[in-house]
Structure 1
Amino acid sequence: MAAGLVISAPASGVGKTTLTLALARAWRNGGLRVQCFKSGPDYIDPAFHAAATGRASVNVDSWAMDRGTISHLVSRGIDADVVLAEGSMGLFDGVAARGVCGTGATADIAEMLDWPVLLVIDPSGQAQTAAAIAAGLRDYRPGVRLAGVVLNRVASPRHEALVRRALLDAGIAVFGALPRHAEISLPKRHLGLVQAEEQAEIGKLIDEAARFVAEHVDLDAVLRSAATWSPQPAASGVNVTPPGQRIALARDAAFSFVYPHMLEAWRAAGAEISTFSPLADEGPDPSADVCWLPGGYPELQAGKIAANARFRSGLRAFAETRPVHGECGGYMVLGTALTDADGIRHEMTGLLGLETSFAKRRMHLGYRLAELAAPMPGHQAGARLRGHEFHYSTIVAQPDTPLAVVHDATGAVIAETGSRRGQATGTFFHLIAEDR
């Protein structure tokens, strides 16, 4: 039996990830086996979870996945002592229209698993009002249970006392209060946290967070508040078909945004994955039968990618006889050119006519449902693919044949249709699952 708990908050930027990592490492240091998950489409946080626990973390998503898939993914926690699901945004934040089994809100996962919610509250600029917010979250939706609260970034002992008293008067447990502590602040950039693999000192930072949280939070009380949980047998696994038998996967600091459950599903279906680094001027494995370029940060490495002739020529040669697919940043690299934030235009691989620019950034964010007008690796024409789009690039040109009709979560058709030309295809969304 494991203890299950959801870590959430009223909003983004409150400290959910830091608290999740700290709790996970502190309990692991105490000899417990800890399994983490990420609720929602964030593809960066699972790597931090893995760094804290020593166990792979995956995403669970109520908009894109059915209950069988979620149960299958969560069942990896069967041998753990503690299972933590870190939420996205605020507890009830999702899209307006329901997806496969929910709106993508963290509350969907909490209710589905029947796990209580540990709220992280930042009372900066307020006092008793923090209790009103916590009470509102507790009472907003039947079926979602509140375990208690950890306060983050309290200004002083007097400030903490005011907030604590108000929360206790509202019948809400307070497990601890964290003063401001710059040493455990995780660095950020425009798509979220700087990736765990880019931070050489990430282990020390997580250890310091664990020490700090253990000093200020009653870890035993938090653990007692978790639900006793035993996973139910899943009727189905992840509905994802591998794009090929042997997959050449671009993997480095510029190409790293791929959901862990996707790679696991490919391997579980018998596919082999060989990685290569475009930043190291490597081309795809010539023995592979498909090449996949995930998203990442090509806009930060555009000059290097443009200068790496072996990568570009190797990818072009591969695409003469075999399929190549790119997601988001990978899609941009398959295009003709990418203009960086300084207005410098860099030539890309030219397998597609797409041209993008970061000179005038505009955020594109949200769930996507694509109906394929033509095949792409692993999926036939007519397939309905669910994914998520998050980038700041602007389309300068998208002249090739559209790959799909793409809708946002409200059902509205959007302009980011993806492209296809010859053996090359690309989409701006990151694939999460195919509708059954």
Structure 2
Amino acid sequence: MAKALVISAPASGTGKTTLTLALARACRDRGLAVQCFKSGPDYIDPAFHTAATGRPSVNLDSWAMPRAMIGALTARGEDADLILAEGSMGLFDGVATEGASGTGASADIAEMMGWPVLLVLDPAGQAQTAAAVAAGLRDFRRGVRFGGVVLNRVASPRHEDLVRRAMASVGIPVLGALPRHAPIALPERHLGLVQAEEQARLSDLIAEAARLITERIDLDALLQLAECEWKSQDAHSLVRATPPGQRIALARDAAFSFIYPHLLEAWRAAGSEIMTFSPLADEGPPDTADVCWLPGGYPELHAGTIAANRHFRGALQAFAETRPVHGECGGYMVLGSGVVDAKGERHEMTGLLGLETSFAKRRMHLGYRHAELNVPMPGQQSGACLRGHEFHYASILAQPDAPLARVRDANGADVPETGSHRGHVSGTFFHLIAEAV
């Protein structure tokens, strides 16, 4: 019998990531092979999962991905002793209009796979009402199997006892409780957690969290709760995604890191070679590459360095004279003429597109995106339909080049972030997740 859990919550900010990492490491310390997944469009958390388990983690997204693609991705958990799928936002939170196989809610993945839900509940300011919240989530959607609850940030032993008694009265198992001041918080910034590769003490933080979890949570009961009838698809099935080229120059450093692991795996599986280079280290794309891809990231935090790195800018400009260059979100901004940072200072970018962006007045852009290409871009023909998402705080000051695509949100409304193209260069504000079928 398989063992799997979807770790979810009533809302964001309740501690899902920390609990997932701690459980993954604690179970790994027991000698179990743990496979993590991330439900929804998040390009940061999978790297933390990989650090905790030693196994690559990938995203599962019911709005962007068809059911067959999700099945192929989950097949990597077939040889694991435990699967932990970390949810996003609240358990049932998604968009109003269904996409490829659902609304993007974590509950979609739980129901689709038959994986039980472990709820992380923060009962701050509550006692018995916390049980009413948990019972409401348990009964909200038929087909989603509710397993039990872990209480997070409990104020005192008396507080814990009150909540436990209330949970018992409605038949909800409590697997454990963590104190309010547990010293296991992970550092954050405006787009989420500080990236895993930027944290020198990450392994120590995860180990510390795992020790606390081992003391406070009944892992034997949790593993029993995780038992389910799930059986994966063919373990050899492949996720198919058209690579942008045969030899791909991929920008990769602290400023360029937001690309989904399943895409890189699919590109390699299709026979492409990926060659990384670091713009922050003033490196240009390898001259042997036939296409260059600049992922999203944090150009606003490194705009001065990027502007000063003349070799990178010159090499990219020379590359773009004869070969395709594509940028996503932060990469798109760097392909533009300039970026205004949060202090109002303008930094000159590569000038391959006319895009001007500013972080001086931050405004969040967030949501799923459906794009129909007006012209070809690397790996895709004109008219191709792509699914992805947008998440950034930049404002467009100018976007003078021809639009790359008609871009709509999950409800079909047009959005102004159309991307643009000029010569061999193209860029978008949305992050590609899957090709629409």
Structure 1 contact 7–16 (Cα < 8 Å) conserved: yes
Structure 1 contact 398–419 (Cα < 8 Å) conserved: yes
Structure 1 contact 71–234 (Cα < 8 Å) conserved: no
- For residue 342 of structure 1, give the secondary structure of its aligned residue in structure 2: coil
Structure 2 contact 153–182 (Cα < 8 Å) conserved: no
- For residue 297 of structure 2, give the secondary structure of its aligned residue in structure 1: coil
Structure 1 contact 284–318 (Cα < 8 Å) conserved: yes
- Distance in structure 1 (CA, Å) of the matches to 2:303 and 2:233: 46
- CA deviations on 1:368-426 (whole Å, 9 max, x unpaired) are 00000000000000000000100000000000000000000010000000000011000
Structure 1 contact 238–433 (Cα < 8 Å) conserved: no
- Distance in structure 1 (CA, Å) of the matches to 2:435 and 2:286: 27
- CA deviations on 1:207-230 (whole Å, 9 max, x unpaired) are 000000110000110110013332
Aligned length: 436
User: Which amino acid in structure 1 is aligned with residue 406 of structure 2?
Assistant: V
- CA deviations on 1:5-58 (whole Å, 9 max, x unpaired) are 110000000000001000000000010000000000000000000000000000
- For residue 270 of structure 1, give the secondary structure of its aligned residue in structure 2: coil
- Distance in structure 1 (CA, Å) of the matches to 2:239 and 2:436: 10
Alignment match, 2:50: 50
Structure 2 contact 76–235 (Cα < 8 Å) conserved: no
Alignment match, 2:336: 335
- Distance in structure 1 (CA, Å) of the matches to 2:333 and 2:306: 11
Alignment match, 1:291: 292
Alignment match, 1:274: 275
Alignment match, 1:300: 301
Alignment match, 1:3: 3
Alignment match, 1:391: 392
Please report the RMSD computed on the Cα atoms of aligned residues, expressed in angstroms: 1.0
User: Which amino acid in structure 1 is aligned with residue 181 of structure 2?
Assistant: H
Alignment match, 1:25: 25
- CA deviations on 1:48-100 (whole Å, 9 max, x unpaired) are 00000000000010000011100000000111100111000000000000001
- For residue 177 of structure 2, give the secondary structure of its aligned residue in structure 1: strand
Structure 2 contact 290–324 (Cα < 8 Å) conserved: yes
- For residue 206 of structure 1, give the secondary structure of its aligned residue in structure 2: helix
Which piece of structure 1 moves more, 237-246 or 31-40?
237-246
- Distance in structure 2 (CA, Å) of the matches to 1:129 and 1:266: 49
TM-score, normalising length: structure 2: 0.99
Alignment match, 2:65: 65
- Cα drift, residue 182 of structure 1: 4.5
- Distance in structure 1 (CA, Å) of the matches to 2:85 and 2:127: 28
- For residue 379 of structure 2, give the secondary structure of its aligned residue in structure 1: coil
Alignment match, 2:197: 197
User: Which amino acid in structure 1 is aligned with residue 32 of structure 2?
Assistant: L
- Distance in structure 1 (CA, Å) of the matches to 2:234 and 2:266: 17
User: Which amino acid in structure 1 is aligned with residue 208 of structure 2?
Assistant: E
1:27-426 paired onto structure 2 within 5 Å: 27-228=27-228, 229-233=230-234, 237-426=238-427
- Distance in structure 1 (CA, Å) of the matches to 2:142 and 2:378: 42
Structure 1 contact 69–234 (Cα < 8 Å) conserved: no
Identity %: 75
- For residue 108 of structure 1, give the secondary structure of its aligned residue in structure 2: helix
- For residue 426 of structure 1, give the secondary structure of its aligned residue in structure 2: strand
- Cα drift, residue 126 of structure 1: 1.0
- Distance in structure 1 (CA, Å) of the matches to 2:172 and 2:183: 29
- Distance in structure 1 (CA, Å) of the matches to 2:60 and 2:121: 23
- Cα drift, residue 235 of structure 1: 10
User: Which amino acid in structure 2 is aligned with residue 259 of structure 1?
Assistant: Y
Give the gaps of 5 or more residues in structure 2. Answer: none
Structure 2 contact 332–429 (Cα < 8 Å) conserved: yes
- For residue 168 of structure 1, give the secondary structure of its aligned residue in structure 2: helix
Structure 1 contact 69–236 (Cα < 8 Å) conserved: no
